[in-house]
Amino acid sequence: MIPASFDYHRPASLDEALKLLKKHGDDAKVLSGGMSLLPMLKLRLASFSHLVDIGRIPGLDAIKEEKGVVRIGAMARQAALERSEVVRAKLPILADALPLIADPLVRNRGTIGGNVANGDPGNDQPAIMIALGATFVARGSKERSIAAGEFYQGLYQTALAPGEILTEIRIPVPPAKSGGAYVKLKRKTGDFAVAASAVQLTLGKNGAIDRCVIALTNAGQTPVEAKEAGKFLAGKAPDEPTLREAAQIAAKASSPSADRRGSVEYKKEMARVLTGRALKIAVERAQRG
């Protein structure tokens, strides 16, 4: 289908983009890679009279490590992240996910900012950002920071205020003896997750789990942090029965809907199985780290 007509704006600076958003209010929408927004417009699930393309604004696509923080510009494309040495070396959990997002064509266009700002619980990067304890930086009339864990409020609803643009994602580099993993089940290339689990943990001096965050993709209206499972693991040795029980607790936090990808029971079971696998990989990585 052809989208309803709209005016296309290509501002050259962030200030210009913010002005356009302010001027056109609810009639305007930010466009980054267009890989989620354009299909929605084409299917006429949404329509906006003004699209503000932030793709030509300089300085929004950096991927760098600075003072113990990985800073990723909102316009960093998924393909660039996939090639990034910083991501591979510092954030294996994100490196796990990138080749599993959509297909190479979509990853060449899609951005991390669009992926996390979209508010679709099927997007992979939100759960990973929650597991990593990321902070999202937004610019409106002023700059503010929002914790990834507090960003998702409902289906396609985020903490971004109207007229705000997500500019950067800041991720603290995990300390020594940390490990993360993202394990995803999808039916075929180009499909979203049936279920997926993001695990990021740190081991203490005695080898026990100091801290663990587990977050699930496509497990509800928003990415779901399995907080009880994280609490259960704190202070425990990462042995097989403990990890198995934690995966069971994590699956209880999920409340998926039945669709063509499977029944509620199947998806909950997959959340359990995938969390069990992600925990095992994360522990192995932490023990090596």
Question: Contact positions toward ligand FAD, by CB under 6 A?
Answer: 29-37, 39, 54, 74, 101-102, 106, 109-111, 113-115, 117-118, 123-125, 160, 165-166, 190, 192
Output 54 or 134, the one with its CB closest to ligand FAD. Answer: 54
* CA neighbor of 225 nearest in space, from 257, 186, 243, 198: 198
| CB neighbourhood size of 141 (10 A) | 10
| CB neighbourhood size of 175 (10 A) | 12
Output 164 or 210, the one with its CB closest to ligand FAD. Answer: 164
Shortest Å, Cβ 184 to ligand FAD: 8
Distance between CA atoms of residues 116 and 130, nearest Å: 10
**Residue in the structure block whose two tokens are 């081991």:** 203
Output 94 or 214, the one with its CB closest to ligand FAD. Answer: 94
Angle, CA 158 vertex, CA 156 and CA 159 arms, to 5°: 165
CA dist 231 → 127, 160, 213, 252 (Å): 17, 29, 9, 14
> In this structure, what DSSP letter does residue 225 have?
E
Shortest Å, Cβ 239 to ligand FAD: 33
CA dist 224 → 110, 141, 149, 203, 256 (Å): 23, 30, 9, 23, 10
Shortest Å, Cβ 90 to ligand FAD: 20
Shortest Å, Cβ 119 to ligand FAD: 7
CA dist 46 → 5, 6, 122, 191 (Å): 12, 12, 18, 21
Output 93 or 286, the one with its CB closest to ligand FAD. Answer: 93
Shortest Å, Cβ 11 to ligand FAD: 12
Output 116 or 253, the one with its CB closest to ligand FAD. Answer: 116
Output 39 or 104, the one with its CB closest to ligand FAD. Answer: 39
Shortest Å, Cβ 285 to ligand FAD: 22
